[in-house]
Amino acid sequence: TITTLSPKLCVEFTNKGLMPMLYQYLQSANRSEPNKLMAIAILRVFINLARFDLTAPILWKVTLMVDGLNTIVDLIKIWYGKNEELMCAATTLLWLFAMKPENIEVINSTENLNKKLLYVFTQLDRKKPKKPSAPLSLPGAKADWGLGYRRKVFTHPLYAVTTVCRKLGLVGGGEDLSRVSIASAGHASSRLRSVKIAKHSF
């Protein structure tokens, strides 16, 4: 997309005010092949904007305005096991948002997001996927305008969702990322329930 080419094009795209409309499309897209391809293209645009310091805060603000966090996590939940490219693109965007500690607080306080993520994590982990042929690595977190060699998005679904869950503090950090124990998700779920119970007891 044009947002990969230069800072100027990223800023110009952002100034057009198209982001709410693109989120609206993601929220209304169906499961047809053209809709899936369009959703992937939109997510890649958002990923490019999230990796650039000047446009990332604007994208984050719009995301909160249009309930975009739920949209992103719903895409992860809908497409895991069905379309790895779409699911991994949505997970990459959430991971980029979670680069800032203040964003993590917002994500963790958004109702049902953690529950959905832990559900996807547990389902993927239960399938006991084979270890990938190539070493797992994180996508680039900063814009490189096509000059870098780091991948733009996650390519391994379990690795992607595990990395995000770790970033949000939902699973522990001691496991091998290519094979994370289901027990971690169980412990995280118990921890979340304990927090909710504690909140209601005051």
pTM: 0.82
Q: Give the whole-angstrom CA distance, residue 86 versus residue 71.
A: 13
Q: What's the pLDDT band for 4 if we cut at 50, 70, 90?
A: low
Mean pLDDT, rounded, of the chain: 83
Could you report the per-residue pLDDT of 58-101, keeping only the tens digit for each? Answer: 999 999 999 999 999 999 999 999 999 999 999 999 999 999 99
Give the start-to-end residue ranges of the domains of the chain. 7-168
